[in-house]
Chain A
Amino acid sequence: KNEVEQSPQNLTAQEGEFITINCSYSVGISALHWLQQHPGGGIVSLFMLSSGKKKHGRLIATINIQEKHSSLHITASHPRDSAVYICAVPAGGTSYGKLTFGQGTILTVHP
Chain B
Amino acid sequence: DTGVSQNPRHKITKRGQNVTFRCDPISEHNRLYWYRQTLGQGPEFLTYFQNEAQLEKSRLLSDRFSAERPKGSFSTLEIQRTEQGDSAMYLCASSLAASMGGYTFGSGTRLTVV
- B92 to A, closest residue via Cβ: A42
A88 to B33, CA, bound (A): 14
> Are A48 and B107 in contact, CB atoms less than 8 angstroms apart?
no
Instruction: Tell whether A18 is near chain B: CB-to-CB under 8 Å.
Output: no
B95 contact set on A, CB distance < 8 A: 96
Q: Using a CB-CB cutoff of 8 Å, which residues 55-99 of chain A contact chain B?
A: 86, 88, 91, 95-99
Of the four ranges (under 10, 10 to 19, 20 to 34, 35 or more), the interface on chain A belongs to: 20 to 34
> Are A100 and B91 in contact, CB atoms less than 8 angstroms apart?
no
> Are B105 and A43 in contact, CB atoms less than 8 angstroms apart?
yes
User: Contact partner of A48 among B93, B97, B100, B106, CB < 8 A?
Assistant: B100
A43 to B106, CA, bound (A): 7
A101 contact set on B, CB distance < 8 A: 35, 42-44
User: Contact partner of B105 among A45, A97, A100, CB < 8 A?
Assistant: A45
Q: Using a CB-CB cutoff of 8 Å, which residues 1-58 of chain A contact chain B?
A: 4, 30-31, 33, 35, 40-45, 48, 50
Which residues from chain B sit less than 8 Å from chain A, CB to CB?
Answer: 6, 31, 33, 35, 40-45, 48, 56, 91, 93, 95, 97, 99-101, 103-108, 110
